[in-house]
């Protein structure tokens, strides 16, 4: 019998246990959560191999998820930086438009008053 990896759901607290079915079949299941279990196999070795491969796969998947979440967080930070830049640029454009609108009004006033002469 090979060493069983801990339950991927319960972690180190999980207690994987070998079970023997009525039809002389074998499975491994976690007796902490009872939700993580292998299908029935003809030999204990198959059930153990399945359990360990599943637990290892879940562990790698969890590590990949953590890695992706970290990347997502970095992208979110970059996106917020761009958002802030875009907002400041818009403020600057608005400011510049107000300035030119005001300048245009002043220019018209000057033109109108000089036309009156
Ligand atoms: Zn479990």
13 pLDDT higher than 80 = no
* Residue 38: inside a domain: yes
7 pLDDT higher than 80 = yes
Residue 30 structural domain:
16-91
* Residue 116: inside a domain: no
- State the Cα–Cα distance between residues 30 and 14, nearest whole angstrom: 6
Distance 85 CA to ligand 1 centre (A): 47
102 pLDDT higher than 80 = yes
Distance 37 CA to ligand 1 centre (A): 8
pLDDT digits (tens, 9 = 90+) for 39-85: 999 999 999 999 999 999 998 999 999 999 999 999 999 999 999 99
* Residue 70: inside a domain: yes
116 pLDDT higher than 70 = no
Give residue 8's pLDDT band: very low, low, confident or very high (50, 70, 90).
Answer: confident
Distance 27 CA to ligand 1 centre (A): 14
* Residue 43: inside a domain: yes
* Residue 42: inside a domain: yes
pLDDT digits (tens, 9 = 90+) for 22-38: 788 999 999 888 899 99
CB 36 within 8 A of CB 51: no
* Residue 5: inside a domain: no
Distance 36 CA to ligand 1 centre (A): 6
Residue 32: how many other CB atoms lie within 10 Å: 17
Number of domains in the chain: 1
Residue with the bigger pLDDT between 112 and 90: it is: 90
* Residue 65: inside a domain: yes
């Amino acid at each position: 019998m090979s060493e069983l990896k801990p339950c991927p759901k319960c972690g180190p607290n999980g207690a994987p246990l070998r079970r023997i079915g009525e039809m002389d079949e074998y499975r491994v299941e976690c007796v902490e959560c009872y939700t993580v279990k292998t299908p029935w196999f003809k030999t204990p070795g198959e059930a153990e191999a399945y359990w360990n491969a599943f637990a290892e796969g879940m562990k790698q998947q969890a590590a990949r998820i953590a890695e992706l979440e970290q990347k997502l967080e970095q992208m979110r930070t970059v996106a917020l930086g761009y958002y802030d830049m875009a907002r400041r640029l818009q403020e600057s454009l608005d400011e510049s438009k107000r300035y030119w609108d005001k300048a245009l009004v002043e220019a018209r006033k000057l033109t109108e008053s000089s036309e009156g002469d």
